[in-house]
Structure 1
């Protein structure tokens, strides 16, 4: 009888150690605080935007275009979260962040860094034909409960440079191969300023899964992600993505969230949220 009980305990322990992680992941271009935005200024939409993220119980979310005071605001609102990331202009606090926020009760950061999308990624730099500095922030995370490691990369591609966008995609894939020698699960989030048929998105899709394409449930929400604050027009331009590694995670759900308040969006982009299982 004691032997049977011991075996049952052992089976339970083994099954728990191999338990699949279910996580909610979001990418969100929150629109930089532009004083010329009038009724769509950050001060008028920040509370609704943060409530939207909180309501969806996101485990990890990557933002684009956040200036330091916007990042600081989100950090103050999400009290159980920490973030990684730096400003792209000086490698400290100036310029836009591609910050990654994570629930610190569920995850810890093993390592993190930021590189510039250029031929000199370890230096503050403008790459190729880009209009300005562009960065990618990444972290190696570990789940506190199950000690399962995984990578998250968060980026914002240039909106003008054709060569810059293609080379940025290649650089991120190169960095993933360089950092991820153990073939850990990988998520790549961001505003890529590109629609699905373009060469850089196709390049990324060869090595990674476009979460919308592989979602187990039918994707939910508008086709596009960029709304330009134009509430009365259809959202058709899809330029924000979450990519996942192919063999060690599955996408259970995919949605583009079109929440609004008083006929106004909380940003000029709609957030993308997915539910994944890390195997």
Structure 2
């Protein structure tokens, strides 16, 4: 649990990295996350969930058009489970890929998320950003672009 510097209001951050190769692990990831939130008696209005959801469809890069990969990635069961649990994706402005594979252009579905609950005490200020940072030589610090959101305490 954290405390907002100015308002002193508490908030809770959960970070998840969903396994990619194991379908069984993927199947249990969101239910385990949601049960942990409930078990900790964390109030959804103060919960922020971030992480790599690895919501890649089974199609292979280069075989399926990018718009189809994005569409399929957004229908992944992990994404649907978060929505059904009352969480909303803070990035509602298009479907910018967040995976880059150490290349200048991202591809595939957005797989990195920042979620807040629909009854959150926070609201998104401006837009959530996907930052395509790399140094002048084209070096990327990660195979994912950083994702961040400005959240403002709204109560």
TM-score (ref. length: structure 1): 0.44
Give CA-to-partner distance per residue, 1:148-189, whole Å, 9 cap, x none.
011100121111112211211111111112223545411101
Distance in 2 of aligned mates of 1:172 and 1:142: 21
**SS of residue in 2 equivalent to 1:177:** helix
What corresponds to 2:123 in structure 1? 250
Question: How do 1:150-169 and structure 2 match up within 5 A?
Answer: 150-169=11-30
More strand by share: 1
Give CA-to-partner distance per residue, 1:89-131, whole Å, 9 cap, x none.
xxxxxxxxxxxxxxxxxxxxxxxxxxxxxxxxxxxxxxxxxxx
What corresponds to 1:277 in structure 2? 152
Residue 138 of structure 2 is aligned to residue 259 of structure 1: no
Gapped runs of 5+ residues in structure 1?
1-139
Distance in 2 of aligned mates of 1:250 and 1:211: 9
Distance in 2 of aligned mates of 1:269 and 1:250: 25
Gapped runs of 5+ residues in structure 2?
56-72
2:18–2:29: 8 Å Cα contact kept in structure 1? yes
Question: How do 1:5-84 and structure 2 match up within 5 A?
Answer: none
Shift of residue 255, structure 1, vs aligned partner: 1.0
Q: CA RMSD in A?
A: 2.0
- Larger relative contact order, structure 1 or 2 (CA cutoff 8 Å, min sep 6): 2
Shift of residue 272, structure 1, vs aligned partner: 0.5
Sort the Cα spacing of 1:181 and 1:273 in 2 relative to 1 into closer, same or farther, 3 A.
Answer: closer
User: Which structure has the larger Rg over C-alpha atoms?
Assistant: 1
1:149–1:184: 8 Å Cα contact kept in structure 2? no
Sort the Cα spacing of 1:250 and 1:240 in 2 relative to 1 into closer, same or farther, 3 A.
Answer: same
Shift of residue 234, structure 1, vs aligned partner: 4.4
What corresponds to 1:209 in structure 2? 88
What corresponds to 1:29 in structure 2? none
Sort the Cα spacing of 1:263 and 1:276 in 2 relative to 1 into closer, same or farther, 3 A.
Answer: same
